[in-house]
Amino acid sequence: MIERIWSGWRSTYVTAAPVRSAPEASRSDPGAAGSVFTRILNSGASDADTHIVHRSTTCFVICNLFPYTIGHVLVVPFREVADLEQLTDDETSDLWSTVTRTVAVVRDVYRPDGLNVGLNLGRPAGGSVPDHLHVHVVPRWTGDSNFMMAVSNTQNLPESIDVTAAKLTAAWAVA
């Protein structure tokens, strides 16, 4: 049975609350220009060193440094924008085409039972880098949560990010 608690006052509070999205919060160096993704792109480091596994015309695929599971990647536009409506038509088309190909590559490499694909737009929605939208592609397996997550909030990842990046980069080469 669903319990409901009416809190009509909440609407006024939420719509009147000041915006608390601080792009600097997603940056380890507040003085650095751009999001963490922009800084990676501008770093001059190799794709292997940054775990970028694929580049398309307007976006790239990068391994998540803090993955939920092995094979968790992000599809990110090169251009730093916060919301989908800020993308050009070409960027939108390329982003979703790359997401579709990424799903196929992750399925081929990891053989998951399912996948989560999604965006968190804005800090209140869970966006940890709210100034640079990115699409999560997360492989999932039946029973992939275990007592470690439930009891000690600890993940057990059986593969290093370097191995994940190498596998996905090789798969993109033949995709």
Q: Which residues are catalytic?
A: 134
- The DSSP-derived string for 48-84 is HHHTEEEE-SSEEEEE-SS-SSTT-EEEEESS--SSG
Residue-level length of the chain? 175
The C-alpha atoms of residue 109 and residue 22 are separated, in whole angstroms, by 36
**3-state SS, residue 139:** strand
